[in-house]
Amino acid sequence: MTVLVTGSRGRVASTLLGLLDAAGVRARAGSKNPTDLSPPPRVDTVHCDLSDPETFDAALKGVDSVFLYAEAAHVGAFADRARAAGVEHIALLSSSSVLDPDAAENPIAASHLAAERALSAAAESGAFEATHLRPGAFATNALQWAGALRDGRGPALPYPHAYGDPIHERDVAEAAFAVLTEPRLRGSSYVLTGPESLDFTEQLAILAEVTGRPAPYTTVTPEEWKKSVSPFVPEPFADALLSYWSSHDGRPTPLTRTVETLCGHPARTFTTWAQDHARAFHP
């Protein structure tokens, strides 16, 4: 079996490549900039730009399964080329946001939903099997606070008590490994969460305990936060984040045990994630 892993510069994909290689599964690391990759020695690299369909055929040649990021712009073309190449299975890194009632209008959820629908349509036609992995909040989102915490200022939060279900990127990679290597797991949709529902203040408290450094924060209005991020967060995305945080303010997130079902162990805690990434929060 040969597995094409797209977006191989990402944390989930790069971890997945290591898991596949260690298990003796032939893997191909695809990226828009393959020369920037440093995969395991036995893993080949290939130019695969999900925004450029001209790169799809070469990347898919001889591939049995694909780990696909939810880049919606050309997912229909990707499905067509995968069908033509004889691909048997595509595991999509989607998002639990597709389950929200307004997913189609939400700019964060919409691309994942469009990718899911395109792959599901292809799967229903018999082109290949499609599996959807739907993680909630990535624990790595906390890295956006690293600069402010290193400086001793801490992040500015419009909703400090908004809850999330932070999941370790390695658990997502292990779930992907499971569905890619166990045929009985194919063809389903899996909601992945961490083992705890934590609000932002609780995550900061864990970071303080793990790093031995203060992890303060300031509370700002939604309008103040939106203005502060306007140089690098498009307004529709900022509005979507504010809406999400508002709806989860003081409301714990429902959890699943899907990681344990797929991987055979409980999902890693946010404390474990903080220990694994503590260096990022030190000066």
30 conformational bin, left if phi > 0, alpha if psi -120 to 50, beta if neither: beta
Q: What is the mean pLDDT of the chain?
A: 96
Q: What is the pLDDT of residue 188?
A: 97
**pTM for this model (two decimals):** 0.96
pLDDT tens digits, residue range 224-267?
Answer: 999 999 999 999 999 999 999 999 999 999 999 999 999 999 99
Task: List phi, psi (to 5°) of 24.
Answer: 80, 15
Res 226: pLDDT: 97
| Domains by residue range for the chain, with CATH | 2-135 (3.40.50.720), 138-167+194-253+266-283 (3.40.50.720)
pLDDT of residue 56: 98
DSSP label at residue 100: S
In percent, the amount of the chain with pLDDT more than 90 equals 98
Give CA–CA dist 110/71, Å, rounded. Answer: 10
Q: Which amino acid is at 179?
A: V
| CA–CA separation, 261 and 39 (whole Å) | 28
Q: Which pLDDT tens digit goes with each residue over 123-144?
A: 999 999 999 999 999 999 999 9
Contact 82, 128 (CB under 8 A): yes
Percent of the chain scoring above 70 in pLDDT: 100
pLDDT one-digit tens code per residue, 16-50:
999 999 999 999 999 999 999 999 999 999 999 99
What digits encode the pLDDT tens for the residues 151-177?
A: 999 999 999 999 999 999 999 999 999
* Residue 185 confidence (pLDDT): 98
d(CA 224, CA 109): 24
| Gap between the Cα atoms of 55 and 67, Å rounded | 16
N-terminal to C-terminal alpha carbon distance within the chain: 44
Task: Check residue 198 and give its pLDDT.
Answer: 98
| Per-residue pLDDT reduced to its tens digit, 63-103 | 999 999 999 899 999 999 999 999 999 999 999 999 999 99
Q: For residue 92, which of 5, 183, 181 has the smallest C-alpha distance?
A: 5
pLDDT tens across 170-204, in order?
A: 999 999 999 999 999 999 999 999 999 999 999 99
Phi-psi region at 69: left, alpha or beta (left = phi > 0; alpha = psi -120 to 50): beta
Among residues 19, 10, 14, 8, the alpha carbon closest in space to that of 179 is found at 19
Task: Report in angstroms the alpha-carbon separations of 32 from 40, 47, 48, 87.
Answer: 18, 6, 5, 21
- Residue whose structure tokens are 């229903």: 124
**pLDDT (0 to 100) of residue 5:** 98
Whole-Å CA distances, 192 to 7, 86, 206, 220, 238: 20, 29, 21, 30, 24
| pLDDT, position 117 | 96
Q: How confident is the model at residue 3 (pLDDT cuts 50, 70, 90)?
A: very high
